[in-house]
Amino acid sequence: MGALTGDFVFVGDVGRPDLLERAAGVQGSMEVSARDLFASLRKLRAKPDHLQLWPGHGAGSACGKSLGSMPQSTLGYEKLFNWAFGDLPEEEFVSRVLNDQPIPPRYFAVMKRVNRTGAEPPKSSHPTSGELLDLEAALKNRATVIDTRLATKFAAGHVPGTLNIPLGKSFLNWSGALVPENGDFYILTEADSDDAVKSILDDLCKIGLARVPLVFRADLAHEWQSRHGELETVTQLDASKLYEQSGKNNLQIVDVRSPEEWTRGHVRGATHIPLAQLPDRVGELDPSLPVVLYCQGGGRSSIATSFLQSRGATNVSNLAGGFDAWVAKGFEVESGSASSGRPARS
């Protein structure tokens, strides 16, 4: 009747044979796994078309390049529309499945250990509320404080030094990519009950992020403002304004999308630093020069902008509407996989 395909076959895509090598450091396993995947797909292809497929992930997951958003499919549908079921020679399949895969978030490597040895117990078994003095102390010690509000609310005003990762389907993905798992961190949230807060903490534990000693109420931002002055905001730059400024030699334009998205097309003169790589590559940016970040629609670049601000950047903007807005205006687009190792000076 059907198959639980997990991370093997998705809607419109297939699983990643590169993770064991790229995330866990098992050298030489990528190509072998890709060839195993090719052989497995040929075996599955022999099954009847009516076979229902239930994958483990959907759109937005880092477990594939272009996962569809439908929760299930059929083998017959995938034979028609999934690139991996096309009539490809093995060498071409191996090349395509390994090329332009998303950058593995840091927690992928942590998962290998957690799945083997078990997760660390939560720092606190019950949500513990922190006060303004606790928040000030955490930020003074350069601890990570995740503001889980919507990006629009964060952009309108937030406590300086906080990192915005909105609650939603990608919350765990980007928390695992941007938050170090070997130190305490804090949550600032609009959640209005202990159960809601505990649900956030329980989810974070699933990816090995268990060290949350305190949770702060979002309205502490008003107390911070009363004591310290204006809240920090995020500048939203529209595509036309970026086009006008892109001729300036001191502007750094950073594309935080996946390698596949970058290859399909990007803003001329941009540098490619996928969001998951930002913690390791932030040093490539010149802090004395302005930075504009963009993604496809503005969500990931909002997170990236908040990350740079939390690291002390002051002249940083988010491209409102992202690459979609740039294309809609008809502005020039480059394609290809080449990306300079240093930020571009447009």
Backbone φ, ψ for residue 2 (5° rounding): -165, 175
**Residue 335 CB burial class (10 angstroms; 0-12, 13-18, ≥19):** exposed
Tokens of 111: 């998962």
Q: Respond yes or no: is residue 63 known to be catalytic.
A: no
List, in order, residues 6 or more apart from 219 with CB less than 8 Å away: none
Amino acid at position 49, single letter: D
Please identify which of the residues 214, 295, 304, 308 carries the catalytic annotation: 295
Strand 333-334 relative to strand 266-267: parallel, antiparallel, unpaired? antiparallel
Length of the chain, in residues: 346
**Residue 253 CB burial class (10 angstroms; 0-12, 13-18, ≥19):** buried
Angle at CA 212, nearest 5°, toward 210 and 214? 160
DSSP 272-327: E--GGGHHHHGGGS-TTS-EEEE-SSSHHHHHHHHHHHHTT--SEEEETTHHHHHH
Structural contact between residues 326 and 267, judged by C-beta atoms closer than 8 angstroms: yes
Q: List residues with catalytic annotation.
A: 295
